[in-house]
């Protein structure tokens, strides 16, 4: 899964990137408009994989991973400049929009003062404007094709016009009610405002335990009810991410932070995207596989290998909790908790699956 970190410059994107990845990319107080993107891959924390690895002692334990990308900030009203960012993030599964709430006189704000709601609106509009541009280019292309005698796809044309109307009302496509066919038919256009988004308020150290943040959250929720909102203090989270593992928890406890923001964010993205994990176990490898909720067993099998999908016979399934309660597969079998499921079985989060197949 690829998650793009965006926002205005100096909102704390790179600080957030460091907090999320434990890396140490530079965070200058001056906005940078050039440079290379930061890319970091992190494991999705999953206690189940740790526990199952203790039991199976496999040669390898493989967690699901997330790739984070952090690049220059978006600039209000500069589509040409923003396209540099959009080209990099248009295939992202989710966008994390970092919004500055922290105050710091020595760190300039590209729009002069701290105003989270305005900043959110600004970035939303930049995504929407870029999509309007895409829609217009697509319509032009369709027109040219028609002149050249190519028969236009009427249903796509109609849909694009509807999307244009929607965008012109300054609404993001993630709030458009697509049918699943429509979604497939426009996928190639790689719209930006369609990408599911999380807002992360980057708050100051002084706001960690204040009510002030809840007020801001409520205000944002009113305007953007469909966007999940998190808050964290980027600077502190970045310091925590760089501590050795055994020092992290005491530090978090001290600050009355329940869990690192990086965990919470991943959880939020999984929920927002309707993602779950199923698990395969064995002496060679214990591994988490990320899929959409309710994926049929046969499609989940294809995630591992197309041969397993093609030659699918049955899935042997047990829930993680049942397995842990019993301790081993033999007992699970005897108790009838290891079920045989067919192709259409909707896979559940934490299912431990062994696929039987034949090619």
Ligand X SMILES: Nc1nc2c(ncn2[C@@H]2O[C@H](COP(=O)(O)OP(=O)(O)O)[C@@H](O)[C@H]2O)c(=O)[nH]1
Interacting residues with Mg ion (CB under 5 A): 13-14
Min dist CB 148 to ligand X, Å, is 45
How far, rounded to the nearest angstrom, does the alpha carbon of residue 66 sit from its chain's CA centroid?
8
Q: Is 170 left (phi over 0), alpha (psi -120 to 50) or beta?
A: left
Give Cβ neighbours of residue 181 (< 8 Å, ≥ 6 apart).
none
Min dist CB 330 to ligand X, Å, is 52
Measured distance CA(189)–CA(156) in Å, rounded: 12
Question: Under the criterion CB under 6 A, does residue 116 sit at the interface with ligand X?
Answer: no
Question: Under the criterion CB under 6 A, does residue 71 sit at the interface with ligand X?
Answer: no
By C-beta, is 231 or 280 nearer to ligand X? Answer: 231
By C-beta, is 20 or 135 nearer to ligand X? Answer: 20
By C-beta, is 192 or 203 nearer to ligand X? Answer: 203
Q: What tokens were used for 254?
A: 């001290």
Partner touching 235 among Mg ion, ligand X, none, CB below 5 to 8 Å by kind? ligand X
Neighbouring-strand partners of residue 285: 60
Min dist CB 41 to ligand X, Å, is 19
Min dist CB 143 to ligand X, Å, is 40
> Among 14, 75, 277, 280, which residue interacts with ligand X (rule: CB under 6 A)?
14
Measured distance CA(197)–CA(212) in Å, rounded: 23
Partner touching 31 among ligand X, Mg ion, none, CB below 5 to 8 Å by kind? ligand X
Tally the C-alpha atoms within 13 A of residue 212's C-alpha that lie toward its C-beta.
Answer: 13
User: With CB under 6 A, what is the number of residues at the site for ligand X?
Assistant: 20
CA angle 140, 145, 148 (to 5 degrees): 130
**Nearest residue to 261 (alpha-carbon basis) of 293, 288, 295, 236:** 236
Residue 242 phi, psi (nearest 5): -95, 0
Question: Under the criterion CB under 6 A, does residue 104 sit at the interface with ligand X?
Answer: yes
By C-beta, is 204 or 350 nearer to ligand X? Answer: 204
Question: Under the criterion CB under 6 A, does residue 102 sit at the interface with ligand X?
Answer: yes
By C-beta, is 74 or 257 nearer to Mg ion? Answer: 74
List binders of ligand X among 290-329 (CB under 6 A): none
Place of tokens 């829609």: 135
List binders of ligand X among 148-187 (CB under 6 A): none
Question: Under the criterion CB under 6 A, does residue 88 sit at the interface with ligand X?
Answer: no
Q: Compute the chain's Rg from CA coordinates.
A: 23
By C-beta, is 29 or 222 nearer to Mg ion? Answer: 29
Residue 67 phi, psi (nearest 5): -100, 120
Min dist CB 16 to Mg ion, Å, is 9
By C-beta, is 235 or 287 nearer to ligand X? Answer: 235
| H-assigned helices in 57-179 | 79-89, 116-147, 154-168
User: What's the sign of the alpha-carbon dihedral 183, 184, 185, 190?
Assistant: positive
Pairing of strands 285-292, 94-100: unpaired
Question: Under the criterion CB under 6 A, does residue 202 sit at the interface with ligand X?
Answer: yes
List binders of ligand X among 218-277 (CB under 6 A): 233-235
Measured distance CA(307)–CA(318) in Å, rounded: 22
Stretch binding ligand X (CB under 6 A), from 100-108, 193-201, 207-215, 253-261: 100-108
Partner touching 102 among Mg ion, ligand X, none, CB below 5 to 8 Å by kind? ligand X
List binders of ligand X among 119-138 (CB under 6 A): none
Site residues (CB under 6 A) for ligand X?
7, 9-15, 27, 29, 31, 73, 102, 104, 107, 202, 204, 233-235
């Amino acid at each position: 899964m690829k998650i793009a970190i965006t926002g205005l410059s100096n909102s704390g994107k790179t600080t957030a990137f460091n907090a999320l990845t434990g890396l140490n990319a530079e965070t200058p107080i001056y906005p940078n408009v050039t440079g290379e993107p930061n890319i970091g891959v992190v494991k999705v924390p999953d206690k189940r994989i740790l526990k199952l690895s203790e039991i199976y002692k496999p040669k390898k334990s493989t967690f699901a991973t997330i790739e984070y990308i952090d690049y220059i900030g978006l600039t209000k009203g500069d589509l040409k400049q923003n396209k540099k960012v959009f080209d990099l993030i248009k295939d992202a599964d989710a966008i994390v929009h970092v919004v500055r709430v922290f105050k710091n006189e020595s760190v300039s704000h590209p729009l002069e003062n701290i105003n989270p709601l305005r900043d959110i609106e600004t970035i939303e509009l930049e995504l929407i404007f870029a999509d309007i541009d895409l829609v217009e280019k697509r319509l032009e292309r369709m027109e040219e094709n028609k002149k050249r005698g190519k028969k236009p796809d009427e249903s796509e044309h109609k849909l694009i016009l509807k999307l244009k109307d929607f965008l012109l009302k300054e609404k993001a496509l993630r709030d458009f009610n697509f049918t699943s066919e429509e979604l497939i038919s426009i996928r190639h256009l790689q719209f930006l405002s369609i990408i599911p988004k999380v807002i992360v308020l980057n708050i100051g150290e002084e706001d960690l335990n204040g009510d002030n943040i809840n007020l801001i959250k409520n205000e944002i929720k009113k305007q953007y009810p469909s966007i999940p909102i998190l808050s964290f203090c980027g600077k502190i989270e970045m310091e925590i991410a760089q501590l050795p593992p055994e020092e992290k928890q005491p530090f978090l406890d001290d600050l009355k932070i329940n869990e690192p923001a990086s965990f919470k964010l991943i959880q939020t993205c999984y929920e927002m995207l309707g993602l779950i994990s199923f698990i395969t176990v064995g002496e060679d490898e214990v591994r988490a596989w990320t899929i959409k909720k309710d994926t049929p067993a046969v499609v989940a099998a294809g995630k591992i290998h197309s041969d397993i999908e093609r030659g699918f016979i049955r899935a042997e399934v047990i829930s993680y909790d049942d397995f842990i309660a019993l301790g081993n597969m033999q007992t699970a079998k005897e108790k009838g908790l290891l079920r045989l499921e067919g192709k259409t079985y909707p896979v559940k989060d934490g299912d431990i699956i062994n696929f039987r197949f034949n090619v």
